Chain A
């Protein structure tokens, strides 16, 4: 039984990373209907930048710096690469993001090389005797949780709460939701629609960057590191419903947990851990058969 809980907790932690990256995908999809295939590579690149900064700086100096750089990169990509193809057929935009995928991958290999690097987890912090983050594991009764898994959870929850507050209670967040729903009416309200899209990309890249920083200690830093994560993140986004932020997170958790359980409990004669991708995708197919728009997705009917 301990092993079971162990796998569930680990699954929740990796699932939150999938959820974060899925959230990044959904943030862009909701406002622009663009499926950003380069989302994972953007996160990979910012993680490399983080690694470089760590060569001369503290972790907690690097962290906010990387978030700012990520936001800048997201805004830059929207303005320079995505804006010109806005209004083009969907397939064209997808090809553009796939091209970005390849370019960012090559840039990382060219600048930092292909050899996997270790990446540190956030260092230990002690607040009034209670320890957060760092090395080791915490005994929580039925099982133990590594401090890094806990860190991931804390960050994921904090980001989701922050995004919820931002979209629900600030004028800018409200304007972004309005833009996603009805761009023409938004312009009549005096909202600069283009600027909202830029902010959306910046926000998305920032959330993705956090996902990259959190997953890198678990899977080593190297150019193709986000490919698997991106696949699961896409699956999570589709499972939850592509236009639902809550769905992205829930989808991520479901996939993270099921991936871990399938990897552990599939008998050897059935290929063991190798089955986890297959079974996970099978779950998605079944859910989508029942609810084609995902668990939290809205019905695909749209008034034009």
Chain B
């Protein structure tokens, strides 16, 4: 009787509805956080590889016009490629219309900043959810435990004699909620830190690339300016 009543499935099944709801919420949170962990890990890995590839082709000495033409206009790119594409497009359009260097450079910078901010949004997608699970699930689990302990005390007051045997299942069942909360929170915390760190590193790389690209365009325009005047 004892081993049966202390097994985890039995404890979960015999818990009060509120505690069961809490457990369900925590299991759901854990499941979703793991989905996010896997999805983000794959995505960031891929983005890193894509950036390395693009950087290599950008600095390989190829003509920037050719590089721009290689990217199809209707196919939206991601990462550094996208920043390069939007900046170069803006440069092309404005350089043909106006000869004013400052206007062109300002427009290029603005468009690149927009593209960068979109990339930032894309890379940090879902990471907020991970942070939420990491910080909230211990509290949710604690709530379930407190509720379960309250129920156990009520049952103790009902019982004529309060031995450990009458209280133990209640407490164990209440503590399962905390365990579940921690089980959901710990991976979420670890992977949130890891993933957000790698995302911000990648964004820093994008920023550096944008600056470098801006410097190239600036040099180019400066040269044209002096020759024309």
Q: Please say whether chains A and B are actual partners in one complex.
A: no
